[in-house]
Amino acid sequence: MLFAVPVVLTLTGCIGPGAPTPASTVTVTPTASAAAPEGADGGLDPIADVDAEVIEHADNRYLVVTLPLNDFDISIDWDPGDPGTMLRDALADDPTAAVATNAGIFTEQLVPGGLLVSDGEELVPVNLNEGGGNFHLMPNAVFAVYGDTAAVMDSRDYVPDGVLQATQSGPALILDGDIHPDFNEGSTNLAVRSGVGVSPDGETVYLAISRSLTNFWDFATLYRDELGVDDALYLDGDISSLWVTGMDEPGPLDGPYSGIITAHQK
């Protein structure tokens, strides 16, 4: 094993009043063997071979999980009846998950801020309204899974045909190889950040989270320059977590989330 009826919404996930308590981030030591993650006590046995490594970029370190869609199925789940889900509870309900992370930005009412499709069912419609916060820093984007392929696209270009799983968040990090026009190199707008990108052929998904505070520019260039990704989406900030099989069980600060992305080995 290598190691989200449209309305204008007040969104959490960005630091601000009513935002959930920031969650802890995960740490992994990159290795070519099935070694336990850094700081882990070995309490969980790996259930799949997951390519997870820490990449150094722009004076920071990022945990990156590479998911070829011919090897992994990706799901996006949200229960409207119980909207706030702790990551450890999601894993307890789904013990075969090899990877798990929070989906897009959500509201103070613990409702996805925009589109969420789970197993082909649209639970929340796409949100194209203007507003404040990271979600509405246009263009925002949709991450959609079609089966053996996936895509990240401008939310205004989203078409539901064939979509099995989807989440909307914002801002878009990169679209068609272009970094978001409002990002500035050297910005002091720093936070823990998580995201999702898709390879140009649509066959590989990359989940990433920063090990410490980073700005949007550096996070976007991680995807562009290190991973060769043309389209990537910011998922959320300091509340984010990324769990990989073999790590310790997520803790009491890993959530609640409104939407969980999981990957299962085929």
On whether the CB atoms of residues 117 and 166 are closer than 8 A, the answer is yes
Query: Does 69 reside within a domain?
Result: yes
Token digits of residue 140: 């925002």
The pLDDT of residue 122 is 98
**10 three-class SS:** coil
The pLDDT of residue 35 is 31
Element (H, E) at 89: helix 87-93
**150 three-class SS:** strand
Query: Does 20 reside within a domain?
Result: no
Token digits of residue 241: 């977590």
CA nearest 100: which of 74, 68, 61, 70?
74
**91 three-class SS:** helix
Query: Does 44 reside within a domain?
Result: no
Counted domains in the chain: 1
pTM recorded for the entire structure: 0.86
Query: Does 36 reside within a domain?
Result: no
Q: In whole angstroms, what is the distance from residue 68 CA to residue 76 CA? A: 17
Query: Does 17 reside within a domain?
Result: no
The pLDDT of residue 201 is 98
The pLDDT of residue 13 is 53
The pLDDT of residue 82 is 83
Query: Cα-Cα-Cα-Cα dihedral of 171, 176, 182, 183, to 10°?
Result: 90
Query: Does 29 reside within a domain?
Result: no
Give the phi and the psi of residue 77 in degrees, each rounded to 5.
-120, 140
Query: Does 79 reside within a domain?
Result: yes
Q: Which structural domain range is residue 181 located in?
A: 51-265
The pLDDT of residue 45 is 60
Token digits of residue 200: 């140009």
| Phi and psi based region of residue 23 (left: phi greater than 0; alpha: psi -120 to 50; beta: remaining) | beta
Query: Does 245 reside within a domain?
Result: yes
The pLDDT of residue 73 is 98
Low-confidence ranges of the chain (pLDDT < 50): 1-12, 14-44
The pLDDT of residue 212 is 94
